Amino acid sequence: MRAVVLTEQGRPLEEAEVPKPSPKPGQVLIRVEACAVCRTDLHVLDGDLKKPKLPLILGHEIVGIVERPGSGVSRFSPGERVGIPWLGSTCGTCHFCSSGRENLCSEALFTGYTIDGGFAEHTVADERYCFPVSPSFSAEEAAPLLCAGLIGYRSLLKAGKARTLGIYGFGSAANLLAQVAAFQGREVYAFTRPGDAKSQEVARKLGVTWAGGSDEFPPTRLEAAIIFAPVGSLVPQALRAVEPGGTVVCGGIHMSEIPAFPYSILWEERTVCSVANLTRRDGEEFLELASRIPIRTEVEVFPLAEANEAIQRLRSGELSGTAVLSPDYS
């Protein structure tokens, strides 16, 4: 099959012909229809996330059609459309897995990082970590929901019932989360790169209450804030913006160092927490909610062979939507 492969961190992906995978027991073979490009792919490519499987097929926002189930598979049949997220497999027996917190399993494997992902014509996936995808979305529209949407949703859960919610870093995850928060009747305050008028206008069109630079303070104190930008200096900035008892959620898998900050901005029972991966319950709840709202995704589709171009456009901030690779697009 055709794939684009990472052979060494810090180097561009390489087009290659590689063996088509076969499903092991409990896995399904999937024909990839679309795979979104995520900032986490940049972190793997650049070496911010250490020790990936090499050579590696990146991509963890996958939508495709089940071609063949492995032995023991009971959840999916050939012809069904499924989505595959970042969390690819867990042990299923540890105290985290047995308590619905499989996202914290120490034996977890991750799609497009420690197991091959979706920058290819086919992939295999653990049936436990595949989700049905509503036919109301095209494959390309659904792909960003599998990471940007799911991590955004888990971040929102960690923010609790906050009615005034700040979102720092207005990329794909924030775009989707703002739609969920608006649907739930929350007030959303969007923080972009200073001077980024384009992103602020996008946020306003999504119905946010206020949009400004990340160096600004909102017109009211926040009950919670979610940080998607991988910028550690935003943590003390967000702490200053939340009210007593407020929560700051770090929604990224990687972040630059958090600078020292005075205890006074953490005092009064403010909380800082991180988000790790997702649970299967998150996936099921969010994808049902996404089709009910319905969430709108903005995408730019690239042929599989132009993966490096899509990555560079993401890196430079030149995309008008989420980059999505399609093996069949030309």
DSSP per-residue codes, 19-34: PPP-PPTTEEEEEEEE
Q: Tell me the C-alpha distance between 38 and 60, whole Å.
A: 8
Q: Tell me the C-alpha distance between 243 and 270, whole Å.
A: 8
Write the single-letter amino acid at 71.
Answer: S
Residue 330 binned pLDDT confidence (cut-offs 50, 70, 90): low
Predicted TM-score of the model (pTM): 0.92
DSSP state at residue 209: S
Q: Tell me the C-alpha distance between 150 and 141, whole Å.
A: 14
pLDDT tens profile 101-149: 999 999 999 999 999 999 999 999 999 999 999 999 999 999 999 999 9
Indicate the burial class of 292 (C-beta count within 10 angstroms; 0-12, 13-18, 19 or more): exposed
CA 292 to chain centre: 20
CATH fold of the domain at 150-274: Rossmann fold (3.40.50)
**Cis-peptide, bond into residue 294, ω within 30° of zero:** yes
Through-space distance between the first and last CA atoms of the chain, rounded to whole angstroms: 17
The domain segmentation of the chain, as residue ranges, is 2-146+298-326, 150-274
Indicate the burial class of 140 (C-beta count within 10 angstroms; 0-12, 13-18, 19 or more): buried
Place of tokens 């250490």: 50
CATH fold of the domain at 2-146+298-326: Quinone Oxidoreductase; Chain A, domain 1 (3.90.180)
* pLDDT the model gives residue 318: 86
pLDDT tens profile 18-33: 999 999 999 999 999 9
Q: Tell me the C-alpha distance between 175 and 190, whole Å.
A: 10
| Tokens found for residue 124 | 């295999």
What is the torsion angle, in degrees rounded to the nearest 10, for the CA atoms of residue 230, residue 231, residue 237 and residue 238? 0
* pLDDT the model gives residue 29: 98
User: What angle, 0 to 180 degrees and rounded to 10, lies between the N-to-C axes of helices 280-292 and 148-158?
Assistant: 100
Nearest to 58 by CA among 258, 320, 307, 314: 307
8 Å CB contact between 159 and 115: no
Write the single-letter amino acid at 268.
Answer: E
Average pLDDT over residues 207-234: 96
pLDDT tens profile 221-272: 999 999 999 999 999 999 999 999 999 999 988 899 999 999 999 999 999 9
| Tokens found for residue 81 | 């459309």
Write the single-letter amino acid at 282.
Answer: D
| Tokens found for residue 95 | 């105290």
Place of tokens 């299923």: 92
Question: What are 188's strand-pairing partners?
Answer: 165
pLDDT tens profile 79-94: 999 999 999 999 999 9
Average pLDDT over residues 45-70: 96
pLDDT tens profile 137-179: 999 999 999 999 999 999 999 999 999 999 999 988 999 999 9
| SS3 state of residue 309 | helix
